[in-house]
Each structure stands twice: as structure tokens, then as C-alpha cells.
Amino acid sequence: MVKSKIAAMTASGGTNIQQGTVWGFHALTPSEPLSEGLLNNSASVEKVLIIMTDGFNEPDFRSYSGDWNGNEYSAWGYRKDGRLADVDGMLNNANEYNAFNSKADITAVMDQKTLDTCTNAKNAGIEVFTIGLSSPSQATTDMLTECSSGTGYHHFPTDPTQLEGVFKNIAAQLAQLRLAR
């Protein structure tokens, strides 16, 4: 039943790798907003974050012309709210409202925020695996490679049929890590 429900899904909209990464990181840590994660101070606790995407950080970008909000409420609210990035040290002013004049501007900030979140996860002792299914650009491949915990932690299958092998590879790495500890 689950597989039939998944098969019936249709994709639409943009991709927000950064928000998925943030929530994965939050789920693995004991701090707010999700406080159920165990501390990473025991040999019995091993934390792994797997980031998988078939796209790139792609916001639904609409220009301000005719609609100050950009017509799209995102993970950061409306573009006019200036929550995606503070460009001058003062939040919610006209500089933030006008900071992003193209999809490429927003994608660049989302990529940097994804990398920042991965750095925070790795600094917290979380191993980060990345999977870029049919990675759409060299920039996305580079970002996912840098986001990962290093060689052997990033995978770029070109076909969905390769995903089972990728996850088996990750599982084998995790099993080796457990045996070594």
C-alpha cells in the first residue's frame, strides 16, 4: 500500500535542500526546536544525516512587480520579510526586501545556508552523507560534495535504479564504523 501511495505522488514546485538539511540536523540534536535527540557523548550513540535530492536549491521566484510579497510564502516567509539573509546587519528593512532580484541570487544564499548547516552538523559529530540523484548542475554537485563528511560520503547516481546500491554502500560503511568502535 505504501509503495502504491508513493507511486501516485506527483512532484511540483521547487526544491529546498537547505530546509530539509536544517530539519534533519534539528532531529539529531537535543536542542530546540526538536529536543528528543540524544547527546552525542556516548560510544553507543552514532548520528548520521543523509541528505538526498534530485534537484538543486530552487526557490519559486516571482518578481516584486505587481505583488510586494512575491506571491509565494516559503520556509522564510514572504521575500519582502527579508528572513532569508540579512545583508546589512538590520533585519526586515528595505535592503533585505530588494536583496534578491533573481532566482540565482536566492539559490546562492540557499546553497551557502545548506553548507553552513552541514558544517554545524559535522562540528556536532554528525556524519553527513549526501546523495545527488542525477545532479542537475556542477554547482549542486560541488555543494553536496563539500556538505558531506568527505570521500566516500557523497554519491551521485544517474538513475533511480542505482539508489539501492548507494544505500547498501552507506549501510556497509555504517556497519564498519560500528565494528571499529
Q: Which of 40, 27, 17 is nearest to 114 (CA)?
A: 17
Q: What pLDDT was estimated at residue 21?
A: 95
pLDDT of residue 9: 81
**Which pLDDT tens digit goes with each residue over 35-55?**
777 666 666 678 899 999 998
Q: Give 147 or 58, the one with higher predicted confidence.
A: 147
pLDDT digits (tens, 9 = 90+) for 15-28: 889 999 999 999 99
Q: What is the reported pLDDT for 68?
A: 47
Question: pLDDT of 116-127, one tens digit each?
Answer: 999 999 999 999
Mind listing the pLDDT tens digit for each residue in 131-153? Answer: 999 988 899 999 999 999 999 99
Alpha-helical (H) ranges within the chain are: 2-7, 17-28, 94-97, 103-123, 138-147, 163-180
How much of the chain, in percent, has pLDDT values that exceed 70? 71
The answer, yes or no, to whether residue 155 has pLDDT greater than 80, is yes
Instruction: Tell whether the model's pLDDT for residue 180 goes beyond 80.
Output: no
Q: How far apart are CA 13 and CA 60, in angstroms?
A: 7
**Is residue 64 pLDDT above 60, yes or no?**
no
C-alpha–C-alpha distance, residues 32 and 23, integer Å: 11
Q: What is the pLDDT of residue 94?
A: 62
pLDDT in the model for residue 75? 77
**Among 16, 19, 54, residue whose Cα is nearest residue 156:** 54
Which of 58-62, 103-107, 121-125 is modeled with the greatest confidence?
A: 121-125
3-state SS assignment for residue 117? helix
Comparing 2-6, 69-73, 137-141, the range with the smallest average pLDDT is: 69-73
145 vs 70, more confident: 145
